[in-house]
Structure 1
Amino acid sequence: MPKVISYTPAWLSKPNPGHEIFTTKAVGALNVATNGSSASSKRTAKPGPRRTIARRGTEVFIAVGKEIRWADLVYLKEAWEDKQSRNTFGKGKDSDNQYEGDHAQGYRTIKTQVAEDIRQLIISPHANYIAILTTHTVHVAILPEPSQLTAADTGPMKLKYYTLGPTTHVTSQSGIASALWHPLGVNGTCLVTVTEDAVVRLWELSIADRWSFDRPTLAIDLKKLADGTSVDQDFGASVHGTSKGFSPDSFEMEVASACFAGRGSGGWSPMTLWIAMREGDIYALCPLLPEKWSPPPTLIPSLSVSIVAKVAAQEDEQGTSPQSKLLAQQQLLWMSEIDNQEPLHIEGPAGEPPAEVYTRPGKPGRVPKLQGPFELDLAPEESEDELDGLLSDICVIGPKIDTDELMFGEEDDLELDPVDQEGLSVGIVCLLTSSGRLSVCLDLDGVEAQWLPKSKAKMLRFVDDFDPPSLLTFEVMDTSRDGEVWEGNWPVFSHDVNSRYSFYITNTSSVTFISLSPWVFRLENELKEATAGADFRIGLLANGQSSIRERLLTQKSNDKSTPLAASAVIQDPDLGYFLLTATSHGPIALTFEAPDLHFDLDRRSRSPTYDPEPDKPLILFEPRPCFEPAYTLEEPSAMPAFIERQRHGKYKRLLQEEVRLSPATLTIITEAHKVVSEETHRVGTAAAELFRRCEKLQLDLKSHISKAREVANRIKAITGDDAPPGEEVVDANQKVETRIEAAKVRQQELNKRIDEMRKKASRSSSRELSDKEKAWIDEVQILNNKITSQDGEKDSKEPWARYEKVKALKEDLLKQVQDREVKDEGVATPNVKVPSEIRKAKMTQVMGLLDRETALVEAAKSRLERLSLS
């Protein structure tokens, strides 16, 4: 998330020229009169996008009324800094200074040929053309080089203009919803216009051919195409315009906005036009190409690989639907015609490589099929607020380029922009409503090229197999507060310069930053790896609050007639990370903290003598915008104009006579009271706000003084200046060294204690015992009790008791045998004959008993040894 470090800088504030170029007031060489007074109030109040700021590097073009102001922001900043330095050192004006005298001032006024206020400014991809849009007309101007704009002549400048469609885009026809420069146009010269009555026109512009500005090379009426059944039908727009009567199509297919994905997107995205209808429907046209088009190096190979793989898979797979086979054959026919062409190489603009130009295939047809309306899966429930369902803008982020699949088996590597290779392998469609509700949808199926069949019979045969396209709603969030939603609200998207997965949403009175990066890369890992438990992790990812949403600017104003213009984001070493928006009263700028760089990439490219830049000082205060009094205090009173109107009205005689009580006098006084009461109310509100700000300024000043006093006391405590008189003053360095040594000793003690606690914890902590381990412990305990018990019981059958009894019997038997031998030596052995069978049986019985007792003794001994070892 970008961190705001400062608001509108001084060189864009009053009374500098950087502020005045955004307003309708005259300043210096601008000599600008107030515009917009002759415009129709109905058209001025008509809601619509306000993209009145366009940029070319650090140059900005601002639409103010019917004029365009040009300014070089770096030049304005340096001129202001030079002026401040001269005022500081007391130097006067110097005619040789580039910022003084008759030199260029860094800003110019550009006169236009429009009849109404300018609503949108759109610069071509190579920054050599600019499209100027009003509510109904489109003009294309050729932009001069920056050196021509910064010439010594500071007067109003006239450009070379071309009226686009002088009989098509006129006030008697439908208004302009969107104007887009086609990403695959030859050197950025193809302009796509989409009118509110759902007519798409492609204009392939050429300065050498003025007729290219009069009629489009391709015109498609989406209402006709939606009901089309065969590619042979005529889907062109009517030359005389559409009927003004009411119809369901004219109501449901009123266009709100349209867009392309980026040129560096993968798949069919660069040639897919997405159209958002005002009532909430989403459509797609693919492929929408001009007659001559210039693809990037990876587009045709990637499409060829995917189409051939699809056809091969359908041949091997059983049960493929007829419509899928027809679609694959159409795509193969389309790609075959491109492969058979020999591209034409033409020179591009300065600094750009030569462009390869192809001709649009004629088969299966030049008009693609209208895909949609898309079904929004997991869409939010319908709201009672009507504005929640009215779309205002659409933004599409195409899938990344799969270089691994494209370059499989190839030895060479493609040199692509790292930004295009990172991200999600599926497209993201962002929808914005008039109430500020943002819906982030995933295009999991992917939009591919589709055409209508050649005959109606084929279409009727495949109707049953048709599945409507769908988008999966991943996340829904609100960007506007309750008090900011009104019927004239028209939020718009503004792309970021650092990531294609972040953007800004400009509302009537606020700017909000949105970043999808926290979940995009995690989702891509889950989709790519597809390991066990991926469904569970994706569910957690979808249910969590993943996207970053941060409001950066809130304009506290009840005047809804001065909405914010769509934000322009600039990143330049001289300006920093910079966001610029404006109202009719002046510019509003936000300077962000520079984003973190990829240090690993920097280290690889650094030279051995690289000298890093010094660290920037820490920002210890919270930035906040400077307070500007309400513009009501600067506006002139409307009473002089009211009196002037009365002097030329039917009551002009009463102004020269004495005041008398009459209906005419009452009428004049009543009208004058309305004017005065409205002015006094606005002035009173502005004065009250100024009074509250003054009171708050006193409180802030007291807070700053207390903080400064606290900091001063801390500094004195460090330097020793706070010591009482008579006490020995210790040097500040000595204090610091003592504190450092004490901190080191304490750190060593803490590390030692932590190591001891870790050892104790490792010895004491153990996992919970299983049931088998608990049973084994009980058995060992029982055996231990049996072995270590006291021999107090005589008839015990325990092993230890039996062992002791066997030992006693052994000793007793040995003693008896010895006594018997002694007696036998002194007494003659009686002549008693015992049968040998009895003697042998007795001996066998005795030996068996001895072996049994011996085995028992050995078993008990070995078991005791095992227990002692364990």
Structure 2
Amino acid sequence: MPKIKSYTPAWLLPPTPGHDLFAPDPSDTQNGSPYTFKSFSKSVPRRTLARRGTEVFIAVGKEIRWADLVYLKERWEEKQAKARSGSRVKREDSVSPSDDELLRESIESGCAEGFRTITTSVGSEILQLAISPYANFIAVVTTHTIRILLLPDSSHLTAPSLDAIKPKSWTLGPTTHVMDRSPIASAIWHPLGVNGSALVTVTKDAVVRVWELSQKDRWSFDQPSLTIDLQKLADGTSLDQNFAASPDVTNKGFSPDSFEMEVAAACFAGRGSGGWSPMTLWIAMREGDVYALCPLLPEVWAPPPTLIPSLSISIVGNLAAIEDDPNVSELTKLLAQQQLEWMSDLDKQEPRVVEGPPGEPPTEVYTRPTKPGVVPRLQGPFDLELSPESEDDLDTELTDIFAIGQKLDTDELMMGEDEELEMEDVEGEGLSLSIICLLSSSGQLRVCLDMDGVQAQWLPPRNRSKAMGRLAGSPSLLTFQSMDILTSLEVTEDAWPMFSPDVTSRYSFFITHPSSITHISLSPWVFRLESELQGDSHAGSEFRIDLLVKGQSSTRERLYTNTAQPDSQLPLAASVAIRDPDLGYFLLSATPFDPIAVLFDTPDDEFALMRSASPTYEKDAEVKPMDFYEPRPVYQPSHDFDENSSLPLLLDRLRTGRHKTITNQEVRLSPLTLQIFTEAHKILSDETLRLGSAASEVFRRCVQLQVELKQQINKASEVKARVEAVTGEDHDEAREPESNNAFIERRLQNAKERGEALSQRMEKMRKTVSKATSRELSDKEKAWVNEVSVLDTNMFGSSIPVDGPSKLKQTRKRYEEIMRLRDELVEEAEKLGATGSEGGEENLSASTTDLRIPSELRRAKINQVKGLIERETALVDAVKARLERLSTVG
């Protein structure tokens, strides 16, 4: 989502020339007084802003203001720089200077103002402006008429002259789009027109006309190359019927078709879309129905290089898949054969190469195929599946439609080719389905998916129309998401919200309503849905769909909110997004009196290649203010303070009317006097009410300003305290100031001391923890403890040895054998000692002689036995001591 950096900049606020672009002309009056709120209707689409690069065109009344925003911004910055440097600058009064003063100032300063006025020959207020794709024409649309202007060159903006420009212009359909015919609902440039010169107009009585404009052929502005009456086409049965609009201009009576097929808006998808999207006209009816015309083409058209090959592959593949399938209906096979016939007619043509506008490559031009027919079938009304059912009829009154075509599938197109297709990144990214967005007057947005995909369809021939009949069922759109843009208090019946495309992504757009401007982005779910459709995920379908439904949906952010009451809100023009290195990311809208702009924050590296490498720029770029404030729109006082009273106009009418004698007489009670006083009371009551509301708004704003100022001061204090805490400047002011070097050395010393203290505390805690807690034994230690326990049990425990290793069992046997031998030897030694003591040495020697055992051998054996006994005793003592230590440790 874009982050708001600031609102309307200073170079668009009064009394700058940038503000004069949007201010109404004081000389243009209605009923003797300047524009008032009652003179503006909100129940019509107002697309009075258009752009060509950084140049903007603003329709004000019956004229068009033309300016370069970059030039206006730089001129204002130059004036501010001169004012700061102390140079002599002419003081600007509150009243706008005259043209002579501006011209004199421009000549003296050596530069132009950067804006001009374009006069048009229109009879009523301009409601819509539409610039052609290559910015050479602009369509000026009123309620019933259209004027085509040849746009002048940008060099006129830098000329010192301020005279109004009257470029070459033509009236479109001087006998078609007139006041006694149906009003114009939409005027859109066809994306496949040759050099952007094909215009499609849709009137409210559901008549579509295709105009192919050429400066060399004036007749191209008088008669359309194709006319289709959708009411006739909806009831059509064969290709041979005439679906052109009736030339009869008499008023028609009421009919259900005229009521249900009142057009609200129409649109095309982008030129870089894939499939049939660039030649599909989507039409939204006021009562909620949606229709599609495909293919709708001018007689001469210029497709992108990839469009015809991709359509050819799709048509041939579809026909081969259903040709031998017995389950496919005959009508579906007929439609596939008609598509093949249409493509065959196109393949037989030799394209003609036409030079494009300056800076554009040459384009290949084709002629519209005449087979199977020129007029396509009217597809619809589409069934909106899963659409929320509302009890309020206001939700079904559509005001605008916005189509996002499917992405261009290059994998199938370039299959088997070694070369890579050169194309823009946005054309190959996104969703392989078309997205249709519908907007109602209540602010309800519906995002629908074209799951089946709209393809070219024609009516059957006359000889097969009765046998084929109509298509079974009706086409459908899957309602993926529905959201409310407005609150219940902001909904008004006469409002007309509108879509505006974004310049950063084709899956994001703006919605302009008299009460607000909202940004919508579909990117959070578009790319995830595409990965699910392509089968990139290996998880189960139910799990993936559940994640997609419960996951992140479309993002919605309110950018601007009109704080005025709903009944006193001025209509807003459809927003225009601009992205330029000098302006940044810029959104512009306007009321009939003032501009409304929103500046978004852009990444620092977005225009890194266009930055200057000079040391001066780098030095200035490093110093940036800290954005800790909350951006707020600039408050503009109500225009009721600047409007003149209508009471003098009433007095003038009385002085010049048939009752002029009463103005110079005394006031007498009479019906005429009562009527005059009643009219004066109505005027005064209305004016005083509006002035009182405006004054109360000023008072409320002053109170709110105090609250906002307190909040700003508190935030500034918090930021100051944080900065001082980080930099270390929050020391006591009573102390004597110290130098920076001493301050830094003191901080380093304190940090070093704190680090050493922390290290000592950590070491002390580590020793305490190691003593207080016992770590778990390893596997080897556990095995050794088990071995010692088994040894202890086998040697000092029960007589039955515990199961253990064979070595422990052998030790037990050896120990028992040694103990048995020890007992025997001790017993034998005691017997020998007793015998020696009784018989003396003689008996001992006699017995010894009798046994015939040498004394040396006997003595050696005794010493050997004593040594074994001492060794076994030492071994037993050592094992016992070791077991005691283990029990203590455990």
TM range (shorter): 0.7 to 0.9
Secondary structure of 1:696's counterpart equals: helix
* 1:323-334 equivalences in 2 (<5 Å): 323-334=331-342
Q: Which amino acid aligns with 1:444?
A: M
* Residue 577 (1) aligns with residue 574 (2): no
- The letter of the residue matching 2:114 is G
- 1:507 maps to a residue whose letter is H
Which residue, 460, 469, 482 being the options, matches 2:475?
469
Aligned to 2:87: 90
**1:102-129: CA deviations, max 9, x gaps?**
8532122211111111110000001110
Partner SS state of residue 345, structure 1:
strand
* Structure 1 contact 307–328 (Cα < 8 Å) conserved: yes
Alignment deviations for residues 737-792 of structure 1 (CA, whole Å, 9 cap, x no partner): 66578779989979x99xx99xx9xxx9xxxxxxxxxxxxxxxx999999998999
Q: Which amino acid aligns with 2:732?
A: A
**Alignment counterpart, residue 507 of structure 2, candidates 476, 501, 510:** 501
Q: 1:593 to 1:786 in 2, by over 3 A?
A: same
Would the alpha carbon gap of residues 782 and 299 (structure 1) be closer, same or farther in structure 2, given more than 3 Å must change? same
Any residues of structure 2 matched to 1:54-453 within 5 Å, and which?
Answer: 54-88=50-84, 89-92=86-89, 100=108, 104-241=112-249, 244-315=252-323, 319-382=327-390, 384-453=391-460
Displacement of 1:554 in angstroms is: 0.8
Match of 1:33 among 28, 31, 34: 28
How far residue 637 of structure 1 moved from its aligned partner, in angstroms, is 1.6
Provide the rounded CA distance (Å) in 2 between the counterparts of 1:702 and 1:60.
38
**1:99–1:105 Cα contact (<8 Å) kept:** no
What corresponds to 1:622 in structure 2? 630
Partner of 1:15: 15
SS at match of 1:484: coil
| 5+ residue gaps, structure 2 | 91-101, 774-784, 825-890
Task: Supply the distance in 1 between the matched residues of 2:733 and 2:80 (Cα, whole angstroms).
Answer: 45
* Structure 1 partner of 2:871: none
For residues 577 and 235 of structure 1, what CA distance do their matches in structure 2 show?
46
Asked if structure 2 preserves the Cα contact closer than 8 Å seen for 1:719 and 1:731, the reply is: no
Q: Secondary structure at the match of 1:387?
A: helix
The offset of 1:533, in angstroms, is 2.1
Unaligned runs of 5+ in 1: 27-31, 765-780, 820-870
RMSD: 4.1
8 A contact 2:37–2:570 mirrored in 1: no
Partner-residue secondary structure (3-state), 1:429? strand
Q: What SS does the aligned partner of 2:489 have?
A: helix
Whether 1:683 aligns to 2:691 is yes
With over 3 angstroms needed to count, the CA separation of the structure-2 counterparts of 1:734 and 1:363, relative to structure 1, is farther
Q: Which amino acid is 1:14 matched to?
A: P
1:723 matched to 2:732: yes
Structure 1 counterpart of 2:701, from 690, 693, 718: 693
Deviates more, 1:295-304 or 1:405-414: 405-414
Label 1:488 to 1:37 Cα distance change in 2 as closer, same or farther (>3 A): farther
**1:49 maps onto 2:67 in alignment:** no
Query: How far off is 1:453 after superposition?
Result: 1.2
CA deviation after TM superposition for structure 1 residue 342, in Å: 0.5
Q: State the Cα distance separating 1:141 from its structure 2 match.
A: 1.0
Task: Report the TM-score, using the length of structure 2 for normalisation.
Answer: 0.80
Q: Is the 8 A contact 1:197 1:253 kept in 2?
A: yes
Residue deviations 1:610-660, cap 9 Å, x none?
A: 999645544121111222221111211222112222223444333212223
CA distance in 2, matches of 1:508, 1:298: 41
Deviations 1:307-341 (A, max 9, x none): 12222223465633323322221111111111111
Measure how far apart 1:406 and its partner are: 1.1
Q: Cα deviation per residue 1:393-441 (whole Å; 9 max; x = unaligned)?
A: 0001111111222111112222111111111111111110001111111
Q: Is the 8 A contact 1:190 1:204 kept in 2?
A: yes
Mapped to 2, the partners of 1:234 and 1:617 lie a distance apart of: 68
**Structure 2 CA distance for aligned equivalents of residues 199 and 53 of structure 1:** 26
Give secondary structure in 1 for the equivalent of 2:449: strand
Distance 1:240 1:610, change over 3 A: farther
SS at match of 2:216: coil
Amino acid at match of 1:263: R
- TM-aligned CA distance change 1:710 to 1:184, over 3 Å: closer
**Matching of residue 594 in structure 1 with residue 596 in structure 2:** no
Residues 800-844 of structure 1: per-residue CA shift (max 9 Å, x gap): 8999899889989xx99xx9xxxxxxxxxxxxxxxxxxxxxxxxx
For residue 484 of structure 1, the aligned residue among 479, 485, 490 is: 490
Structure whose CA Rg is larger: 2
Which shows bigger deviation, 608-617 or 294-303? 608-617
Name 2:861's counterpart in structure 1. none
Q: Cα offset for 1:351?
A: 0.3
| Equivalenced residues, count | 787
Q: Deviations over 1:171-219 (max 9, x none)?
A: 1111111111000000011000011111111011111111111111111
1:525 aligns with 2:520: no
Distance 2:722 2:611 in 1: 42
Partner Cα separation in structure 2 for residue 647 and residue 732 of structure 1: 83
| Cα gap change, 1:242 to 1:722, in 2 (>3 Å) | same
* Distance in 2 (alpha carbons) for counterparts of 1:442 and 1:476: 12
Secondary structure of 2:257's partner?
helix
The answer to whether the aligner puts 1:549 opposite 2:545 as a matched pair is no
Contact 1:397–1:429 under 8 Å retained in 2: yes
Instruction: Return the alpha-carbon distance in structure 1 between the equivalents of residues 70 and 251 of structure 2.
Output: 50
Determine the structure 2 residue equivalent to 1:5: 5
Matches of 2:505 and 2:521, distance apart in 1: 9
In structure 2, the CA distance between the partners of 1:712 and 1:199, relative to structure 1 (3 Å rule), is closer
**What do the CA deviations read for 1:280-310 (whole angstroms, capped 9, x no partner)?**
1111111111110000111011111111222
What one-letter code is carried by the residue in structure 1 that aligns with 2:345?
E
CA 1:160–1:734 in structure 2 vs 1: closer, same or farther (change >3 Å)?
same
Contact 2:522–2:554 (CA under 8 A) maintained in structure 1 = yes
Letter in 1 for 2:414: M
Structure 1 position 590, deviation (Å): 1.0
> SS where residue 165 of structure 1 aligns?
coil
CA separation of 1:598 and 1:653: change in aligned 2, threshold 3 A: closer
CA distance in 2, matches of 1:71, 1:248: 46
Task: Verify the 8 A CA contact 1:523 1:538 in the aligned structure 2.
Answer: no
Of 207-216 and 141-150, the range deviating more from structure 2: 141-150
Q: CA deviation at 1:372?
A: 1.0
Residue 576 of structure 2 is aligned to residue 568 of structure 1: yes
Partners of 1:36 and 1:117 within 8 A in 2: no
2: CA distance, partners of 1:745 / 1:281: 78
> What is the CA–CA distance in structure 1 between the aligned matches of 2:612 and 2:676, rounded to whole Å?
80
| 8 Å Cα contact 2:323/2:333 also seen in 1 | no
Q: Could you tell me whether the CA contact under 8 Å between 2:22 and 2:60 is conserved in 1?
A: yes
**How do 1:646-685 residues align onto structure 2 when only pairs under 5 Å count?**
646-685=654-693
Q: Contact (CA 8 Å) 2:103, 2:160: kept in 1 or not?
A: no
